[in-house]
Amino acid sequence: MSLGDPLGIAGVGLIGGSIALRARAEGVRVIGYDREAIPAGIVDATCASMELLARESATLVVALPLDATLDAIDALRRGDDRNLALVLDVASVKEPVVRRAAGWARFAATHPIAGAERGGAAQARADLFAGRAWAYVPGANDEAVVEFIRFMGATPVAVDARAHDEALALTSHLPQVVVAALGALLDERQARPDLAGPGLASTLRLAGSSWALWETILRANAGVLSGSLRDLAERLSAAARDLEEGELSHIPSYFEGANRAYEHFVRERST
Amino acid sequence: MSLGDPLGIAGVGLIGGSIALRARAEGVRVIGYDREAIPAGIVDATCASMELLARESATLVVALPLDATLDAIDALRRGDDRNLALVLDVASVKEPVVRRAAGWARFAATHPIAGAERGGAAQARADLFAGRAWAYVPGANDEAVVEFIRFMGATPVAVDARAHDEALALTSHLPQVVVAALGALLDERQARPDLAGPGLASTLRLAGSSWALWETILRANAGVLSGSLRDLAERLSAAARDLEEGELSHIPSYFEGANRAYEHFVRERST
């Protein structure tokens, strides 16, 4: 990789750890910083602070939750080490990141559309990004960013910050809240695991997501997300009305639209 | 299997076909009837009518959609062939089936909690039921029914018809309608597949389900289901309000409940 060696990673969780494993598998040296202990075998060396990491790295990936990412942007920008050719983040919402990093030439805002419902470095995998989309906000470093994303095995998707956040409200944040609400309802009503099947397991996969990680994401994209939640709530009320009145005037069209969504988001994904 | 030979299957789709494949793999001869052509390799022989099938079978599985199951109960009961030791159905809602078959001694109402979002004999698999729950309504034939379910590789769960339908409203029918409504919303708003990941694919797996199969299920369980849909609609409205007001007073508890549901319905399933 022409991005230089070593690759620094601030925040060695699921995403940071998977970036580290992939880079090392490709022969790049990786140094990491995390407030918590980093499990053995994920990075080549650790740094005692993010400042030190920035001084030692050629390229630096900030793989922290959104709020910590914003703080890191401020801190790294103040330091602004000469050796550091490129800093990129991987947070799930891009408008606040782009706003905070405005005018900082060596920064690039990106977002790998991959993950797992359970976070942490212990879940990290070198192939987490293989074949997945990796969004980036076009800017001064596009060539290097695209090279980095391809180096991770992912497909670069150029998208501006607002369009990204609007798209992810639908493809990620809305489903996350819906599955959380559904899971909570099943938990409260003591739904029976002995009478549940693989379809429900698939539907509830995102129910394992951690609130600590999601709080800042949902707050940051609240405006776009709340409208979609109201829309879906109305559809569910209409479905209830259909069933109460015995006139199924809404539900059939949901299945029709859902069958099309299945083609785009499920079937074409698995091939 | 002491249930006798051959095993008759009326309706050779995903469920009927998978029962056939499992039985044949275990050395039982299978004869089938379907209005549509049955793909090669699924049954040993076919019958030209359900009446003929009933006359030839020792045990008969009615593996038809709910409405056709109710019609088949009437037809088979009129014939009431002496050779037929046991007739069982596999429909997803049990109260209408039990009501229709009331007093018919050789009938047993059952429901395998397994499936796939895409139906049809082409999707049939001998291991579709392996390790899955298979509900049955206790009655005069429990010993034979439990033997049959175990023979299919599944775990028998005794449950009365009303409790079954209430349980499945939560573990199957509600998630199905929610995923359909979510899928339709994504389709209508032209959500971007190039910015979607594996989490959404998992959430939308049930979006591939066919309305033709689901219409009678939802109508039959409308009373229980509509209340849950209203409950979930209210939770989503409360989530929207949380985000609009910046006071997250509901969403955190959804994640908490959902994390518990994840343990029961996802994690314990996959081990």
Q: Of all helices (H) and strands (E), which one includes residue A166? A: helix A161-168
Q: Are residues A175 and A151 part of one domain?
A: no
Last residue of a domain, one of A125, A159, A193: A159
Q: Which of B264, B267, B270, B271 has the highest number of chain A CBs within 10 A, making it the mutation to test binding with A?
A: B264
Phi-psi region of A153 (alpha: psi -120 to 50; beta: other; left: phi over 0): left
Query: Which CATH number characterizes residue B151's domain?
Result: 3.40.50.720
Minimal Cβ distance to A255: which of B194, B211, B258: B211
Q: Please, what's the b/e burial string for A2-38 (b: 16 or more CB within 10 A of its CB; e: otherwise)?
A: ebeebbbbbbbbbbbbbbbbbbbeeebebbbbbeeeb
Please tell me the total count of domains within chain B: 2
Q: Of all helices (H) and strands (E), which one includes residue A181? A: helix A174-188
Residues from chain B contacting residue A224 (CB–CB below 8 Å): none
pLDDT of residue B80: 66
Q: Are residues A131 and A16 part of one domain?
A: yes
- Integer-rounded Cα Rg, in Å, for chain A is 21
- Tell me whether residues A197 and B113 touch, CB distance under 8 A: yes
Q: Are residues B144 and B79 part of one domain?
A: yes
The region of weakest confidence among A146-150, A171-175, B83-87 is: B83-87
Give the confidence band of A117 by pLDDT, cuts at 50, 70, 90: confident
Q: Is residue B1 one of the residues assigned to a domain? A: no
ipTM over the 0.90 cut-off: yes
Minimal Cβ distance to B135: which of A195, A222, A269: A195
- Tell me whether residues A172 and B199 touch, CB distance under 8 A: yes
Residues from chain B contacting residue A180 (CB–CB below 8 Å): 251, 254-255, 257-258
Q: Are residues A172 and A96 part of one domain?
A: no
Q: Are residues B186 and B146 part of one domain?
A: no
Burial class (CB in 10 A: 0-12, 13-18, 19+), A48: exposed
Over residues A206-210, the mean pLDDT reads 95
State yes or no: pLDDT of B96 exceeds 60.
yes
Q: Is residue A2 one of the residues assigned to a domain? A: no
State yes or no: pLDDT of A85 exceeds 80.
yes
pLDDT > 70: percent of chain A: 98
Minimal Cβ distance to B222: which of A210, A215, A243: A243
- Tell me whether residues B115 and A243 touch, CB distance under 8 A: no
Residue A205, min C-alpha distance to chain B (Å): 6
Last residue of a domain, one of A132, A159, A186: A159
Q: Are residues A101 and A228 part of one domain?
A: no
pLDDT of residue A195: 97
Over residues B75-86, the mean pLDDT reads 84
pLDDT of residue A271: 46
Q: Are residues A60 and A29 part of one domain?
A: yes
State yes or no: pLDDT of B46 exceeds 50.
yes
State yes or no: pLDDT of A205 exceeds 60.
yes
Q: Are residues B130 and B67 part of one domain?
A: yes
Residues from chain B contacting residue A222 (CB–CB below 8 Å): 243-244, 246
pLDDT of residue B270: 62
State yes or no: pLDDT of A219 exceeds 90.
yes
Q: Is residue A54 one of the residues assigned to a domain? A: yes
A215 contacts B171 by C-beta, under 8 angstroms: no
- Tell me whether residues A197 and B231 touch, CB distance under 8 A: no
Q: Are residues A63 and A127 part of one domain?
A: yes
Q: Is residue B153 one of the residues assigned to a domain? A: yes
Domain that holds residue B29: 7-159
In chain B, at which residue ranges do the beta strands (DSSP E only) sit? 7-10, 30-33, 45-46, 59-62, 86-89, 107-112, 133-136, 155-158
- Tell me whether residues A211 and B135 touch, CB distance under 8 A: no
Q: Which of B185, B241, B245 has the highest number of chain A CBs within 10 A, making it the mutation to test binding with A?
A: B185
Q: Are residues B223 and B212 part of one domain?
A: yes
Residues from chain B contacting residue A187 (CB–CB below 8 Å): 257-258, 260-261, 264
pLDDT of residue A107: 97
Task: Report pLDDT digits (tens) over A1-28.
Answer: 567 789 999 999 999 999 999 999 999 9
Task: Report pLDDT digits (tens) over B185-226.
Answer: 999 999 999 999 999 999 999 999 999 989 999 999 999 999
Burial class (CB in 10 A: 0-12, 13-18, 19+), A81: middle
Q: Are residues A184 and A145 part of one domain?
A: no
- Tell me whether residues B261 and A202 touch, CB distance under 8 A: no
pLDDT of residue A1: 55
Residue A120, min C-alpha distance to chain B (Å): 16
Average pLDDT of the residues of chain A: 94
Over residues A239-257, the mean pLDDT reads 97
Last residue of a domain, one of A143, A159, A175: A159
Give the confidence band of A270 by pLDDT, cuts at 50, 70, 90: low
Query: Which CATH number characterizes residue B258's domain?
Result: 1.10.3660.10
Q: Are residues A223 and A134 part of one domain?
A: no
> Which residue in this structure is represented by tokens 């939770």?
B235
More confident residue, A119 or B60: B60
Q: Is residue A53 one of the residues assigned to a domain? A: yes
Q: Is residue A1 one of the residues assigned to a domain? A: no
Q: What is the pTM of this model?
A: 0.94
Give the confidence band of B1 by pLDDT, cuts at 50, 70, 90: low
